Structure 1
Amino acid sequence: MFSVRRHFVKGISRPQSILPLLVRAMSSESYTTLNVTRPKEYVVHVEMNRPNKRNAMNGAFFSEIGTCFQKLSDDSDCRVIVLSGAGKIFTSGLDLTDLGTVIAIRENEDIDVGRKATQMRKFLTKWQEDFNQIEKCSKPVIAAIHSACVGGGVDLTSACDIRYCSEDAWFQIKEIDLGLAADLGTLQRFPKVIGNDSYARELAFTARKFYADEAKQMGFISRILPDKDSLLSAALDTAALIASKSPIAVQGTKTSMVYSRDHSVQEGLAHIGIWNQSMLQSTDMTEAAMAQMQKKEAKFSKL
């Protein structure tokens, strides 16, 4: 356990909060399927890191992606997250060699179908919740997608706030080719992201590939970059720009937009009204206004 001690900062003898140290320790935890770095101030880069397996999503990945985004949501040194994939492709989707749990439940002859279904639901709900942590994360998440983004990759990126891709990127809602309906968020989020139910159904029913230009035309992608290097550079630049803004304003904006997507306009207005009755009392408004008038960059304290 951590012990709380008095911390001294260049002669200033006052106790400093231990919370940032705890959060930093948690967020620097090592992962087996992820590589987490901090390339710019207040920007965290989460890289799927199974390049030899084409970043296929196994059980460890689901657990770690959920844990990682939960921790970053509470990390005061993180204001924006960039999500990418190591190696030649973004992700090939679900790791079909790591379905032992599903097979064990399905083939268990000692329990009836109702009990099998109950166990299967618990298993699927856990994976859904792991991806939900990306949307629940208080910090904006920018997906930087190169080459293939298949199956679970569409589930994953549909939960992100902003999506950039490289010119060689292609996408596929693959599940129907495997004899199942996508169950980790694509069927729920993707139609709302692109705003075209017919288009979403076509892609889900046919499992056909669609490429960068089509993804941008339908509204799934907001920018196409020439290659992986320029893609990551652009994503990190956008992340740094967002990180320079008021964290009170940015996080409030994400919360309101996620809520309003699934509620009526009036409910969304009521929600942001309740939210801002507290947040408008922040010093960030004063800092931003003074910086505008003085034509200088605003500096905002950590949350």
Structure 2
Amino acid sequence: MPDYQAFRVELADKIAHVIIDRPEKANAMNADFWREIIEIFRWVDDTDEVRAVVLSGAGKHFSSGIDLMLLAQAANVLGKDIGRNAEILRRKILELQASFNAVDLCRKPVLAAIHGYCLGGGIDLIAACDMRYSTRDAQFSIKEIDIGMAADVGTLQRLPRLIGDGMMRELAYTGRHFDGEEARSMGLVNRTFDDPQALLDGVFAIARDIAAKSPLAVRGTKEMVRYMRDHRVDDGLEYIATWNAAMLQSADLRVAMAAHMNKQKPEFAD
């Protein structure tokens, strides 16, 4: 596994632990972060041994969001022509969006374990994950409004499906902080834990449960859920019929049914 500048990646028991590893900078998202996250999730997608991903932050915080030095560098390349400036900025924004699209489109379930700060770009990142869990005292904020911009890498597009339109607007317009318990009450996180260690223990237990299931069944389930965000019910039913016409012929189905009948734990191939 290659060395990364902004991350640490570990693989054990079929679970990839992807750790944002800039604790001295509150895990702010620098240029290395945006490039490496695409490489990491491509590796996750291509590595059959990986059944689930836990995403967390090293040190005291999950992430304080985009590194402001990166924004300053983007401003330095602008010239006098508005049209050309707009083209430069648009390409940069699409490039950043691709980093979190890589998380969203990953074939494997991604579980975010959040403690400390989860601000700005941190919200964009966790919105692209399958599930979110946090400590009770974690601090969240859609912070972009406080630096004079609209969030542009996924929060405003993904969050309404998670917490509802009205609450998303309140948080996006005000930028106010809210803690893990409020995040749980609005449905942003599934469950809260007392401290970072209990959080990781709890999230890894869920990841191990997922990793023990048929990887083809998990893959199909994630794909159908993702597909239904942008399609009608009848489109989704047609898609799952076509998908399962192939997948129901997998050995996993026979393995699962035999294990269930014999009250044993099934073992699935990667």
TM-score, normalising length from structure 1? Answer: 0.87
1:56 corresponds to which of 8, 14, 28: 28
Retained in 2: the 8 A contact 1:31–1:64?
yes
Residues 8-19 of structure 1 correspond to what in structure 2 (within 5 A)? none
How far the C-alpha of 1:101 sits from its partner, in A, is 3.8
Retained in 2: the 8 A contact 1:105–1:120?
no
Is 2:88 the counterpart of 1:116? Answer: no
Q: Distance in 2 between matches of 1:170 and 1:123?
A: 28
Q: Distance in 2 between matches of 1:199 and 1:290?
A: 46
How far the C-alpha of 1:139 sits from its partner, in A, is 0.2
Retained in 1: the 8 A contact 2:137–2:181?
no
Larger-gyration structure (1/2)? 1
Aligned residue number for residue 164 of structure 1 = 133
Q: Distance in 2 between matches of 1:36 and 1:260?
A: 31
Q: Distance in 1 between matches of 2:75 and 2:60?
A: 30
Q: Distance in 2 between matches of 1:266 and 1:115?
A: 43
Q: Distance in 2 between matches of 1:175 and 1:100?
A: 15
RMSD, matched Cα: 0.9
Unaligned 5+ runs, structure 2:
none
How far the C-alpha of 1:98 sits from its partner, in A, is 2.4
Residues 110-259 of structure 1 correspond to what in structure 2 (within 5 A)? 112-194=81-163, 196-259=164-227
Structure 1 residues 176-223: Cα deviation after superposition (integer angstroms, max 9, x where no partner): 1111000000000011111x2111101000101111111111111101
Structure 1 residues 246-266: Cα deviation after superposition (integer angstroms, max 9, x where no partner): 000001101110111221111
> Secondary structure in 1 aligned to 2:48?
coil
2:269 partner letter: S
Q: Distance in 1 between matches of 2:121 and 2:218?
A: 27
Q: Distance in 2 between matches of 1:207 and 1:78?
A: 36
Is 2:259 the counterpart of 1:286? Answer: no
Across the two proteins, how many residue pairs are aligned to each other?
Answer: 270
Aligned residue number for residue 275 of structure 1 = 243
Moved beyond 4 Å, runs of 4+: none
1:94 partner letter: I
Q: Distance in 2 between matches of 1:61 and 1:51?
A: 13
> Secondary structure in 2 aligned to 1:99?
helix
- After alignment, is 257-266 or 141-150 more displaced? 257-266
Aligned residue number for residue 11 of structure 1 = none
Q: Distance in 2 between matches of 1:151 and 1:100?
A: 16
Retained in 2: the 8 A contact 1:73–1:137?
yes
Q: Distance in 1 between matches of 2:178 and 2:72?
A: 31
Q: Distance in 2 between matches of 1:115 and 1:274?
A: 45
> Secondary structure in 2 aligned to 1:143?
strand
How far the C-alpha of 1:100 sits from its partner, in A, is 4.3
1:69 corresponds to which of 36, 41, 52: 41
- After alignment, is 143-152 or 256-265 more displaced? 256-265
How far the C-alpha of 1:35 sits from its partner, in A, is 0.4
1:46 corresponds to which of 9, 13, 18: 18
2:2 corresponds to which of 15, 29, 32: 29
TM-score, normalising length from structure 2? Answer: 0.98
- After alignment, is 153-162 or 260-269 more displaced? 260-269
Is 2:70 the counterpart of 1:98? Answer: yes
Q: Distance in 2 between matches of 1:198 and 1:164?
A: 22
Q: Distance in 2 between matches of 1:257 and 1:267?
A: 12
1:254 partner letter: K
Q: Distance in 1 between matches of 2:147 and 2:244?
A: 46
